[in-house]
Chain A
Amino acid sequence: MTKSSVDQLVEAGSEYHAGFVTDVESETLRPGLDESVVEYISARKGEPEWLTQWRLQAYAQWQQMREPTWAHVHYPPINFQSISYYSAPKSQTDGPRSLDEVDPELLRTYEKLGIPLHEQAALAGVVADPAAVGTPAGANVAVDVVFDSVSIATTFKETLAEAGVIFCPISEAVHSHPELVQKYLGSVIPQRDNYYAALNSAVFSDGSFVYIPKGVRCPMELSTYFRINERNTGQFERTLIIADEGSHVSYLEGCTAPMRDENQLHAAVVELVALGDAEIKYSTVQNWYPGDENGKGGIYNFVTKRGVCAGPRAKISWTQVETGSAITWKYPSVVLRGDDSVGEFYSVALTNNRQQADTGTKMIHMGKNTKSTIVSKGISAGGSENCYRGLVRISPTAQNARNFTQCDSLLIGDRCGAHTFPYIENKNNSATIEHEASTSKVSDDQLFACQQRGIETEQAVSMIVNGFCKEVFRELPMEFAVEAGKLLEVSLEGAVG
């Protein structure tokens, strides 16, 4: 019996280029979680009393909650007492400082990953290592870098300050802009929104804070780069972006972690607030360590992301390229409160080997003439499970709301699974809701057609998959679209025998 060539592709292990460990001495809190840990984290960051109380309140709520089980993912119970909730490189324990003071060992880490931390180098467009794909790398980009629980450097702060843009670690914003933080923290995702959001609210470590003043177009792309380094730690970052009236910002997030046999938890919260006529474009290239080909190790990526279009004609656009993590549980959503506001979700989720992804979006229409677009591309290879889960809710107040959803699945081989769960709740009969879905396979005929023109198998698969993702890649900022394409290629390496 000859095996079909697609089947042959799906054997063998994957390659993860960001899987190294940085050898820095870290101050890591003993594993375990109780009120004193929450208080310790808050004290470590010198937080004001209101925030300590806010965390403790979240912790109390979390204790009353149960882990959700509705997602189409399977994993052994997580022992929340075996995780350390705070870890920082010792050299950084006094918080972020200027670039010159950052531990050279850390700088080397980011160089290896291709993250331009030196502003001159970044300006000149000198990018360290193109092998480190899935990471933001480009000329006109300001970067905030989070290493385990702390932010270690933020670039281009002065340039941004001239435009009035605030871009800094959230731990710093708590001190420098307490009124903004207090007003908006938890305003989109309340503490008790869900189990992981509550946990994050109690123990969140660091993350980025962005404020774009009225009428300002942010002069450069903003990006945050998250890296988990320390063993047995969780990463609980918190990002808050506020675009004031008529402003505009494009933001990108990238992530990697070393290869480890144990699973590590990443439970982030991202809140976006777009006031009237403001626009936020949020792009994610998620490349957390996915585990090995047998499903050992890898990140549990349990993330809550939501934006609110708070004023008229506001627009929030989520674009995500998800290739990493052992398990992804994530639904970047938009609450369309302002009249004529717009929500978009463009997603590529690729799973290989034993990875599991349950991802999608929620579009909550409340204002009149609100409009949402959902384009989801799921790619499953190996023995992986890929699931789209989406909700479109039209409230009684949302006169003339419109939604368009397109949900496509691509299968590579025949051991993987693709599932689609679109939920529609329509309470207003003036709404227009369109839904399209398709499932296809990378066929032997397509592969052979490429090979017959001299294109080698691996490149053929990646070309076909990239073609499938085109509508989403189009939405990414230029410099990241190229990275995303390369990342797919790397992530598919495991699928090619």
Chain B
Amino acid sequence: MSLLDVSDLHASVVTDDQTQPILKGLNLAVAAGEVHAIMGPNGSGKSTLANVLSGRPGYQVDNGAATLDGTGLLELEPYERAQLGVFLAFPYPVEIPGVSNMEFLKASIDSLARARGDAQPNTAQFIRQVRELASSLDLDPAFLKRGVNEGFSGGEKKRNEIMQLLLLDPKLAVLDETDSGLDIDALKVVAAGVNRFRNASNGVVLITHYQRLLDYIVPDFVHVLSNGRIIESGDKNLALELEAKGYAWLT
């Protein structure tokens, strides 16, 4: 059994006037310890996959299943999936004015601990840990007092997502274009964060358009998602090939 098992997943996006099928029979197995990169043309369904796995409203599952460590995800509330260990790094992190980063992180970590029946972390220790993580991602500790993503630059928001990833330490991390909008140095900092997160018992799904990220976070597998299906899988060399040839030769 893999850590994440997605089988024959069909899902649609639901808008006011229509229901449009996007994922059309997607299969993906991520074992513990693995990093899977997902690439593919714009509009092919990569973010839809991330959203459906994490339970974002506005999508409808038409068929198929997704399990984490054997537990079905698709029936669960979004917060239950998070409590089980699903983490989504958002491509466009949202601002929550007036709620400080620190307060948000505390609410989050306490909720996870409560759900798992763990003791709530000691506050002083927690604050120390968060400060340490912030500085490892080149984030000024002053950020922790500011509202969640309030007035953060694009790159700062992305680094904030990685800080949350490291703090919450989920089983499965789905990173949706975390590399976009980062300057060259920030890209390295973020990649180092992801590498620091990786271990033998967790898994990473890395959605990206750029081969360059994969120089820093070396994937075990690279998949090409097109028109709602994975049409090609390979190792890191596939990404190099895509960089050279584009997607046309596959479709």
Contacts and interface: CB of A to CB of B under 8 A. Distances in A.
Interface in B21-59: 54-59
B108 A453 contact: yes
A464 B108 contact: no
Given A2-B60, A5-B57, A444-B57, A452 B82 contact: yes
Interface in B92-126: 93-94, 96-99, 103-104, 107-108, 111-112, 115
Contact of B98 (A449, A450, A454, A468): A468
Given A456-B111, A464-B99, A468-B98, A448 B78 contact: yes
Contact of A466 (B79, B98, B108): B98
A449 B94 contact: yes
Given A463-B104, A463-B107, A452 B94 contact: no
Give the size category of A's interface with B. 20 to 34
Given A448-B56, A454-B79, A469 B112 contact: no
B231 interface: no
B108 A467 contact: no
B77 interface: yes
Contacts, number: 85
Given A452-B82, A459-B111, A2 B57 contact: yes
Interface in B123-174: 147-148, 164, 168
B165 to A, nearest CB: 10
A443 B54 CA distance: 17
B107 A467 contact: no
B168 A453 contact: yes
Interface in A441-465: 443-446, 448-457, 459, 463-464
Given A451-B77, A452-B78, A443 B57 contact: no
Interface residues of B, number: 33
A454 B96 contact: no
Contacts of A443: 94
Contacts of A457: 77, 79
Contacts of A2: 14, 57-60
A440 to B, nearest CB: 8
A427 interface: no
B96 A446 contact: yes
Contact of A456 (B79, B88, B99, B104): B79
B186 to A, nearest CB: 21
B14 A1 contact: yes
A316 B94 CA distance: 38
Contacts of B55: 451-452
Contact of A467 (B90, B93, B97): B97
Contacts of B168: 453-454
Interface string B76-88: 0111001100011
A395 B193 CA distance: 61
A449 B58 contact: no
A457 B97 CA distance: 17
A449 B55 CA distance: 11
A90 interface: no
B102 to A, nearest CB: 12
B78 A464 contact: no
A470 interface: yes
Interface string A188-211: 000000000000000000000000
A4 interface: yes
Contact of A445 (B88, B94, B99): B94
B57 A454 contact: no
A377 to B, nearest CB: 10
A305 to B, nearest CB: 27
A471 B94 CA distance: 21
A470 B147 CA distance: 11
Most chain B Cβ neighbours within 10 Å, of A4, A452, A466, A467: A452
Nearest to B14: A2
Contact of A453 (B14, B56, B57, B104): B104
A297 to B, nearest CB: 33
A452 B96 contact: no
A471 B99 CA distance: 11
Contacts of B59: 2
Contacts of B60: 2
Nearest to A467: B98
Contacts of B104: 450, 453, 463
A464 B98 CA distance: 8
Contacts of A446: 94, 96
7 smallest beta-carbon distances between A and B, as pairs: A467-B98, A467-B99, A453-B108, A454-B82, A451-B78, A470-B98, A454-B111
9 contacts: A2-B14, A445-B94, A453-B108, A453-B164, A454-B82, A454-B112, A454-B115, A467-B97, A470-B98
Given A445-B94, A452-B55, A452-B90, 18 more contacts: A2-B58, A2-B60, A4-B57, A444-B57, A446-B94, A448-B78, A451-B79, A452-B54, A452-B78, A453-B82, A453-B168, A454-B83, A454-B111, A455-B108, A459-B111, A463-B99, A467-B98, A468-B97
